[in-house]
């Protein structure tokens, strides 16, 4: 997860998806850091069942090789997290 933050999610998604994420990060009034943390939390939420069912080894592999996901849905979940706070 540290790599998600330090590399701004560049390794997890393709270039077009990263542009969508970065557009959201840079345009959010809360600032890019807050938004990036919400996106990372949304990523965990979207794979929570697999994380809860897995052991430490499989979970680390899963986190290091994040599965393909619908970026629009990911950003929707991240935005819902904003509304909780």
For the chain, the structural domain boundaries read 19-84
CA distance 85 to 78: 12
Position 54 confidence tier, pLDDT thresholds 50, 70, 90: very high
Tens of pLDDT, residue by residue over 58-83, are 999 999 999 999 999 999 999 999 88
- Looking at the chain, the whole-number percentage of residues with pLDDT higher than 70 is 89
Would you state the pLDDT for residue 71?
97
49: three-class secondary structure by DSSP: helix
CA distance 61 to 4: 14
Evaluate if pTM is beyond 0.85: yes
């Amino acid at each position: 997860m540290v790599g998600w933050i330090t590399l701004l999610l560049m390794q997890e998604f393709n270039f077009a998806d990263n542009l969508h994420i970065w557009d959201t990060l840079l345009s959010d009034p809360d600032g890019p850091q807050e938004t990036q943390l919400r996106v990372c939390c949304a990523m965990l939420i979207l794979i929570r069942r697999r994380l809860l069912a897995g052991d430490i080894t499989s979970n680390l592999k899963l986190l290091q090789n994040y599965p393909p996901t619908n970026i629009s849905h990911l950003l929707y979940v991240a935005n819902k997290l904003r509304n909780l706070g």
